[in-house]
Amino acid sequence: MSRRDPAKRVVLITGTPCVGKTSLSRLLVSRLDALYIDLTELATREKLVLGKDKKRGSMIVDERRMKQRIQKIVEGCSKEHVIVDGHYAVHVVPEEYVAHVFVLRRNPVELKGLMEQRGFSEPKLWENLASEILDVCLVDALGVYEEKRICELDVSGKTVEASVNEVLEVLNGGKKFYVGSVDWLGKLENEGLLDDYLRI
């Protein structure tokens, strides 16, 4: 299919680490019979990496080569939907392919518990919590895409199944979505918890 083929819908699933991107993406892929692209796995498998960020303990991805590779994968795919999972998805998927960007959001109190379960060290934990509180992934998405393609989805306290059902409602046109539905900064401030969670 060519990049102009309107039948193909590329959906980005982005958000802070531990927010639930991969669990949601995998179930969504199953429900849609879609092609799944896990950006971390793709970068590692195809060596699309420039080096390692020693301070953060994470890969530095070659965004130019990654974008070229994703373009080839999408153009060569026979499936109607492609689901791309990764917190930097908005920077490496050619914009003209993307139908929707879902920015998953999770209450920082809940998110901190999940990060602790995953064994995040303190500097990394506080940095990622700050990213969620300060809407970093949402701001990144808005820097690339017009607001009408972006859906901010609060997954706090929800099962993966429930969250996927919401995504499907949006994709099928049965549910409206908008940006600005989440305000963790205001919520934590009102609850007297801001200093406990925003430490950088």
Report pLDDT for 3.
44
Report pLDDT for 131.
96
What homologous superfamily is domain 9-197 in, according to CATH? P-loop containing nucleotide triphosphate hydrolases (3.40.50.300)
Token pair listed for 62: 């070659």
Q: Which helix (H) or strand (E) element contains residue 38?
A: strand 35-38
Tally of CB atoms within 10 A around 45: 9
Residue pLDDT tens, the chain, 200 long: 344 444 468 999 999 999 999 999 999 999 999 999 999 999 999 888 887 766 666 778 889 999 999 999 999 999 999 999 999 999 999 999 999 999 999 999 999 999 999 999 888 899 999 999 999 999 999 999 999 999 999 999 999 999 999 999 999 988 887 799 899 999 999 999 999 999 97
Report pLDDT for 57.
61
Residue among 172, 169, 134 at smallest CA distance from 153: 169
Q: pTM of the predicted model, to two decimals?
A: 0.91
Where are the chain's structural domains?
A: 9-197
Report pLDDT for 4.
46
With the CA atoms of 27, 31, 32 and 37 taken in that order, what torsion angle do they form, in degrees rounded to the nearest 10? 20
Provide the residue type at 11 as one letter: V
Residue among 100, 99, 118 at smallest CA distance from 16: 118
Q: Judging by DSSP bridges, how do beta strands 35-38 and 9-15 pair with one another?
A: unpaired
